[in-house]
Amino acid sequence: MNKKGLVIHLVLLGLLVGIGSFILLSGTLDVETDIKGKWQLDFLTKNYQEAEKQLLKNEILIKQAGVEVAWQLVENGGYAPGTESSCGKAEEAQVWFKEGKWCFKGIATLVPEMVSEKLTTSIPGNTYSDITFSGPFLTGKGGKGVISREKATYIFDTSFTVYLGYSFDEYQRLQEEGLRLLASCVGKEELKQCLDMAKLDYWKYGSCEQEEFSDSSIVPFCIASPQLAYLPTSEGQKLVTYAIALDFSSS
């Protein structure tokens, strides 16, 4: 064998021995390669999806806050807990109208205030503004959420629209129905007869379970939700009922 042949032999031998050693030492023939689109996948799972989870948790907390506010208002005749109508109360029902004066101010500003107050404690990291309601939806503007990790930052909007399954607009409807009732029956001597004719079926005297007409000019009512709205409680879903009172004396 000439010198050139010897070199070729040795080089080939060396290569084969090298490959054999590599396989023996590493225990596999596989060449480790990084997964395709690793950065993109990491961004999706560790940034985007984390943000989606955070938004979902926030949505649940906002819905809880909305439902709590709805119950608090319902339980206190459309007034914030611990407050009372300027017309006073009649048999635990808030008086909305007395001696020619409409005392109920509505809940348009109350709901955003109460929801906002609850959100500052349940979602302390975020600040929300312009909280409003429209039909069964509660909406609000949130700040920017940021999820950062090495080489990737995801910025997302934390504004929300949450479906409550209950409309705060029911108060507006109750006010209109109450005003119609007052227009028909204020000052009437045969008050019960007038109310029986004018009131809607879901307006019950005194209690929703056992109707009882109190012989007084200030009549307490129990009103079942006009849209038959049910809201969750710790004991399951419960029909919303309002307790209010109206004064039918002629002022």
Here the tokens at position 236 are: 């399951």
The CA distances from residue 243 to 76, 78, 206, 224, in Å, are: 8, 9, 8, 9
Alpha helices (runs of H) in 87-168, residue ranges in sequence order:
110-122
In angstroms, give the least distance from the CB of 180 to other proteins: 32
Contacts (Cβ under 8 Å, ≥6 apart) of 220 = 90, 91, 92, 93, 205, 206, 214, 243, 244, 245
Q: Which window, 43-51, 95-103, 127-135, 243-251, contacts other proteins (CB under 8 A)?
A: 43-51
Residues 63-102 that bind other proteins (CB under 8 A): 63
Left, alpha or beta for 135 (phi > 0: left; psi -120 to 50: alpha)? left
In angstroms, give the least distance from the CB of 219 to other proteins: 34
Here the tokens at position 38 are: 């690793």
Residues 22-41 that bind other proteins (CB under 8 A): 23, 29-37, 41
Q: Which window, 55-63, 82-90, 171-179, 187-195, contacts other proteins (CB under 8 A)?
A: 55-63
- Tell which one of 17, 21, 45, 196 touches other proteins (CB under 8 A): 45
Q: Residue 56, interface with other proteins (CB under 8 A)?
A: yes
Total binding residues toward other proteins, as defined by CB under 8 A:
35
Q: Please compute, for residue 155, the number of CA atoms within 13 A of its CA located in the half-sphere on the CB side.
A: 2
User: Hunting for tokens 């005749």 — which residue is that?
Assistant: 77
Q: Residue 109, interface with other proteins (CB under 8 A)?
A: no
Residue number, 185 or 231, with CB nearest to other proteins:
231
Residue numbers at the binding site for other proteins (CB under 8 A) = 1, 5, 8-9, 12, 15-16, 19, 23, 29-37, 41, 44-45, 49, 52-53, 56-57, 59-61, 63, 163, 165, 230, 232, 237
